[in-house]
């Protein structure tokens, strides 16, 4: 995926300070299934934070609460200091299963969020086309989802999220449905994309290696009910290439330390 230079008309510029606050959030399903308990977190603008933990710890539940797709049983979410009660234009969600409209072209899918916002057709196609180029899908605008590989469909979902120019991109295991080679390429491309777009990313993953490779900060959740068990900020030297980074002793040690923290929760 080649990352082009950002369109200055579309780019909102760098963010600073805390953009999202999670205050005392708990989530109970039904009468007795406690998915999350007493979550307090802040997410700084312009950083990528991964939510990591064993299966069933509530990572995706927390992400959907931040997105406004689920309501917390207790507590609240603040975006730039304002309580939220549902989805908003400052947050865009990248689904694990692509969530594309099968009857719509790639360009129409990428422009869907803009259409919902009432952006005129010519402008939304211009913006969507820009982001399709950003994610390496130039020339595929008239194709349909069934004509694309899984990796290409995920790129359409990412272009759609970027097109609405949200401050925060919420990504639910976005690379889990692709093969390992494509996944590594996506990881590298996401790092370059962050440098261009200056967005805030909240990223759910099961992969310790992926979390350490991508993240400024990793929030480790305990098994259900999910609580904040630990917050890790990988202190990996900057400026390393992908292969250098994956061989770096600090990277390897961080992966190993997180595994030791998580293994007691794994059957």
In tens, the pLDDT along 185-201 reads: 888 888 888 888 788 99
Please say if the pLDDT value at position 14 is more than 60: no
For residue 267, the model assigns a pLDDT of 61
For residue 181, the model assigns a pLDDT of 81
Q: How confident is the model at residue 236 (pLDDT cuts 50, 70, 90)?
A: confident
Please say if the pLDDT value at position 10 is more than 70: no
- C-alpha span between 134 and 162 (Å, rounded): 9
By C-alpha distance, which of 240, 233, 181 is closest to 211?
233
Please say if the pLDDT value at position 204 is more than 90: yes
For residue 179, the model assigns a pLDDT of 75
Single pTM value for the model: 0.84
For residue 16, the model assigns a pLDDT of 45
For residue 9, the model assigns a pLDDT of 37
In tens, the pLDDT along 16-71 reads: 478 999 999 999 998 889 999 999 999 999 899 999 988 888 999 999 999 999 99
Residue by residue, DSSP assigns the chain as -PPPPPPTTT------SEEEEEEEEEEEETTTEEEEEEEEEEEETT-EEEEE-STTSSHHHHHHHHHTSS--SEEEEEETTEE-SS--TTEEEE-TT----TTS-HHHHHTHHHHHTT--HHHHHHHHHHHHHHTT-TT-TT--GGGS-HHHHHHHHHHHHHHTT-SEEEEESTTTTS-HHHHHHHHHHHHHHHHHH--EEEEE-S-HHHHHHH-SEEEEEPSSSB-EEEEE---PPTT--HHHHHH-HHHHHHHHHHHHHHGGG--
pLDDT top residue among 267 and 150: 150
Q: Residue 248 corresponds to which tokens in the numbers above?
A: 């770096």
């Amino acid at each position: 995926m080649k990352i082009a230079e950002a369109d200055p008309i579309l780019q909102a510029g760098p963010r600073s300070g805390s953009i999202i606050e999670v205050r005392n959030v708990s989530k109970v399903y039904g009468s007795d299934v406690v998915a999350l308990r007493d979550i307090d977190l802040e997410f700084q603008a312009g950083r990528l934070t991964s939510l990591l933990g064993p299966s069933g710890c509530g990572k995706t539940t927390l992400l959907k609460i931040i997105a406004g797709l689920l309501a917390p049983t207790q507590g609240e979410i603040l975006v730039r200091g304002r309580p939220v009660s549902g989805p908003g234009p400052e947050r865009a969600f990248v689904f694990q299963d692509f969530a594309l409209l099968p009857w719509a072209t790639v360009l129409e899918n990428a422009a869907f969020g803009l259409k919902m916002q009432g952006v005129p057709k010519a402008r939304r196609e211009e913006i969507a086309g820009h982001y399709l180029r950003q994610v390496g899908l130039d020339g595929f605008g008239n194709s349909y989802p069934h004509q694309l590989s899984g990796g290409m469909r995920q790129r359409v979902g990412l272009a759609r999220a970027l097109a609405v120019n949200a401050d925060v991109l919420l990504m639910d295991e976005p690379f889990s449905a692709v093969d390992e080679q494509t996944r590594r390429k996506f990881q590298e491309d996401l790092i370059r994309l962050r440098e261009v777009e200056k967005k805030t990313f909240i990223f759910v993953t099961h992969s310790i290696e992926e979390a350490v490779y991508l993240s400024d900060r990793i929030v480790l959740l305990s098994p259900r009910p999910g609580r904040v068990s630990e917050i890790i900020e990988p202190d990996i030297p900057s400026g390393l290439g992908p292969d250098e980074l994956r061989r770096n002793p600090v990277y390897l040690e961080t992966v190993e330390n997180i595994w030791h923290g998580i293994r007691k929760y794994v059957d």
